[in-house]
Amino acid sequence: MADSNQIWTIGRILKWTEQYFEQKGVESPRLDAEVLLSHLLDKQRIYLYVHFDEPLQAEELAAYREMVKQRVNHVPVAYILGKKEFMGLTFKVTPDTLVPRPDTEILVQAAVERLKGMEKDSLRFADIGTGTGAICLSVLNFTPGSTADTVDISSAARAVAEENADSLGLTDRIAFHTGDLLAPIKENKYAAILSNPPYIPEADIPGLAPEVRCKEPMTALAGGKDGLDFYRRLCDEAPALLEEGGFMAFEVGIHQAQDVAALAVANPLIARTEIIKDYAGIDRVVVAWKKER
Ligand code: SAM
Ligand code: GLN
> What's residue 288's pLDDT?
98
Nearest ligand to the C-alpha atom of residue 128:
1
Share of the chain above pLDDT 70, in %: 98
Helix axes 58-72, 10-23, angle to 10 degrees: 20
Last residue of a domain, one of 35, 50, 73: 73
Question: Which pTM value belongs to this model?
Answer: 0.95
Tell whether 68 and 91 lie within a shared domain.
no
In a domain, 4, yes or no: no
Tell whether 61 and 101 lie within a shared domain.
no
CA–CA dist 150, 247 (Å, integer): 16
Domain of residue 26: give its range. Answer: 10-73
Q: Which residues have CB under 8 Å from 64's CB, separation 6+?
A: 13, 17, 36, 37, 40, 56
Helix axes 134-142, 155-167, angle to 10 degrees: 30
Query: Does position 269 have pLDDT exceeding 70, yes or no?
Result: yes
pLDDT digits (tens, 9 = 90+) for 32-65: 999 999 999 999 999 999 999 999 999 999 999 9
List the residue whose alpha carbon is closest to atom 10 of ligand 2.
212
Written in H, E and C, the secondary structure of 169-219 is: CCHHHEEEEECCCCHHHCCCCEEEEEECCCCECHHHHHHCCHHHHCCCCHH
Query: Does position 213 have pLDDT exceeding 80, yes or no?
Result: yes
List the residue whose alpha carbon is closest to atom 1 of ligand 2.
101
Report CA(281)–ligand 1 centroid distance (Å).
Answer: 24
Tell whether 51 and 178 lie within a shared domain.
no
Tell whether 59 and 106 lie within a shared domain.
no
Query: Does position 121 have pLDDT exceeding 90, yes or no?
Result: no
Nearest ligand to the C-alpha atom of residue 227:
2
Query: Does position 2 have pLDDT exceeding 70, yes or no?
Result: no
pLDDT digits (tens, 9 = 90+) for 66-103: 999 999 999 999 999 999 999 999 999 999 999 999 99
Tell whether 26 and 91 lie within a shared domain.
no
Which residues are registered as beta bridge partners of 247? 192, 289
Query: Does position 20 have pLDDT exceeding 60, yes or no?
Result: yes
Tell whether 57 and 120 lie within a shared domain.
no
* CATH of residue 227: 3.40.50.150
In a domain, 265, yes or no: yes
Tell whether 87 and 53 lie within a shared domain.
no
The number of distinct structural domains making up the chain is 2
Ligand 1 neighbours (beta carbon < 6 A): 98, 100, 104, 129-132, 134-135, 151-154, 157, 180-181, 196-198, 219-220
pLDDT band at 251 (very low <50, low <70, confident <90, very high): very high
Tell whether 95 and 64 lie within a shared domain.
no
pLDDT digits (tens, 9 = 90+) for 143-199: 999 999 999 999 999 999 999 999 999 999 999 999 999 999 999 999 999 999 999
Report CA(288)–ligand 1 centroid distance (Å).
Answer: 20
Of the candidate ranges 4-13, 94-103, 134-143, 201-210, the one whose mean pLDDT is the lowest: 4-13
Tell whether 103 and 209 lie within a shared domain.
yes
Tell whether 167 and 278 lie within a shared domain.
yes
